[in-house]
Amino acid sequence: MEKIDIKSYNEAELLEYMTSLGQPKFRTAQLFKWLQQGVEDFDQMTNLPKPLREILKEQCYIANVSIVKKFVSKIDGTVKYVYELFDGERIESVVMKYEHGYTVCISTQVGCRMGCSFCASGLDGLFRNLTPSEMLAQITKAQQDNGIRISNVVMMGMGEPLDNFDNSVKFLQLVSNDNGLNIGLRHISLSTSGVVPKIKELKGYNFPITLSVSLHAPNDEIRSSMMKVNKKWGVDELLSACREYQKVTTRRISFEYALIEDVNDSDACADELAKRLRGIMCHVNLIPANPVKENSFKKPDMNKIIHFKERLIKKGINATVRRTLGADIDASCGQLRRKAMEEKGGGC
Ligand code: SAH
Ligand code: SF4
């Protein structure tokens, strides 16, 4: 019998399961709390009777991640982890300290099938989806390892969260549960490359999260050359889904724009971008593109990046340049995992 991924159960599912074991209702609340707060072993659940713990051990497993590599920035204390999953797959997470608290950047898939040309995560395609419990475990492990409470989450690590839609939605429901990690949805950002039908589906949940859209180009010609997802859902369709999303959720949308020299950093690009975003309550996050070993693109120099930002601001678009954290341990999305898998001699 395949074991149950019990940490991915919400309270209703857990209640149904515990009732099937003949357990009283209050045990569900106790178990849910232990699981969600990151206990990794049923024997540590000291308020559960031993015979129940034995049944749970037999029928269920608690999804966990183990630290295989850890890099700590000497500049700002940013911590990057390579975690190993139960099947030997590896993912990345980053913990950053801001004035308002700690933010963790989590992965949602092992690899990614979207294949953006500038990103290391997609170089080998998708290996598998992460479960809600594996997304939660990245947070609880980072909390335990650093002795901190994480207050903000960004779903911006490896993978496309909207390509793992059901698990990402369940994760959002679990992580914000009062009896769990209780991280408010307003403190969570979900980043997508623009899977339009799923943006529409997400709108139906009306979560007060921040939707972060990786736009990176103002038109189809440039965007399709960088992101193959754009061949399926072009800029017009994407921005129209964003407008609808905003109408329903009333949340400001964040547009990510990784600047690549001579690709998307011209004045004409800034002007076209400003024009297309007009009327959307949004913020543009400019990111100096992070060079990937397997690619030849370059980031523009800082003057050019600031010039691009100011041109957007002059045209009424709210824009900032993303602060670089952990510059001394830098490795963009997916690079750490590839390196760790190569060293292990397996995987990719
Ligand atoms: N798949 C989702 C979330 C993970 S990627 C998405 O694409 O939005 C998180 C962010 O990192 C995205 O905005 C992505 O475009 C960006 N990114 C990936 N590789 C990068 C690189 N080499 N330099 C700068 N940003 C990069
Ligand atoms: Fe996947 Fe996002 Fe990387 Fe594109 S940028 S390959 S969608 S992780």
Using the mean position of ligand 2's atoms as its centre, give its distance from the Cα of residue 113 in Å.
8
Q: Which ligand is nearest to the CA of 121?
A: 2
Contact between residue 13 and residue 35 where contact means Cβ atoms under 8 Å apart: no
Q: Nearest residue CA, atom 3 of ligand 1?
A: 156
Per-residue pLDDT at 331: 44
Per-residue pLDDT at 347: 29
The tokens for 324 are: 């670089």
pTM of the model: 0.95
| CA neighbor of 140 nearest in space, from 169, 109, 104 | 104
Strands 282-288 and 319-321: parallel
Per-residue pLDDT at 72: 93
DSSP E strands in the chain: the ranges are 4-5, 60-61, 66-72, 79-84, 90-98, 101-105, 109-111, 126-129, 150-155, 188-192, 210-214, 253-259, 282-288, 319-321
Question: What DSSP string describes 228-243?
Answer: THHHHS-HHHHHHHHH
Q: Is 5 exposed, middle or buried (0-12, 13-18, 19+ CB in 10 A)?
A: middle
Q: Nearest residue CA, atom 15 of ligand 1?
A: 214
Separation of first and last alpha carbons in the chain: 30
Q: Nearest residue CA, atom 24 of ligand 1?
A: 289
- Return phi, psi of residue 88, to 5°: 90, -5
Per-residue pLDDT at 76: 87
Contact between residue 31 and residue 48 where contact means Cβ atoms under 8 Å apart: yes
Q: How far apart are CA 24 and CA 151, in angstroms?
A: 33
Q: Is the CB of 329 under 6 A from ligand 1?
A: no
Question: Is there a catalytic annotation at residue 242?
Answer: no
| Residue 314: HSE in the Cβ half-sphere, 13 Å Cα cutoff | 9
| Residue 32: HSE in the Cβ half-sphere, 13 Å Cα cutoff | 23
Question: Is there a catalytic annotation at residue 237?
Answer: no
Q: How far apart are CA 123 and CA 162, in angstroms?
A: 18
All residue ranges of the chain with pLDDT < 70 are: 330-348
Per-residue DSSP letter, 7: G
Q: Is 344 exposed, middle or buried (0-12, 13-18, 19+ CB in 10 A)?
A: middle
The tokens for 73 are: 């920035």
Per-residue pLDDT at 122: 84
Using the mean position of ligand 2's atoms as its centre, give its distance from the Cα of residue 121 in Å.
6
Q: How far apart are CA 84 and CA 133, in angstroms?
A: 14
- What percent of the chain has a predicted confidence (pLDDT) above 90? 86
Q: Which of 107, 113, 116, 233 to mutate to test the pocket of ligand 2 (most atoms within 8 A of CB)?
A: 116
Q: How far apart are CA 202 and CA 310, in angstroms?
A: 32
| Residue 285: HSE in the Cβ half-sphere, 13 Å Cα cutoff | 16
For residue 101, what are the β-bridge partners?
Answer: 98
The tokens for 328 are: 């001394």
Q: Which ligand is nearest to the CA of 213?
A: 1
Q: Nearest residue CA, atom 19 of ligand 1?
A: 119
Q: How far apart are CA 43 and CA 49, in angstroms?
A: 10
Q: H-helix or E-strand containing 249? A: helix 235-249
Q: Which of 103, 117, 119 to mutate to test the pocket of ligand 1 (most atoms within 8 A of CB)?
A: 119
Chain-centroid distance of CA 43 in Å reads 31
Using the mean position of ligand 2's atoms as its centre, give its distance from the Cα of residue 167 in Å.
17
Q: Which ligand is nearest to the CA of 112?
A: 2
The tokens for 37 are: 């707060």
Chain-centroid distance of CA 171 in Å reads 11
Q: How far is CA 102 from CA 14, 82, 148, 193, 230, in A?
A: 30, 18, 8, 25, 33
Per-residue pLDDT at 141: 97
Q: Is the CB of 163 under 6 A from ligand 1?
A: no
Per-residue pLDDT at 121: 87
Per-residue pLDDT at 343: 55
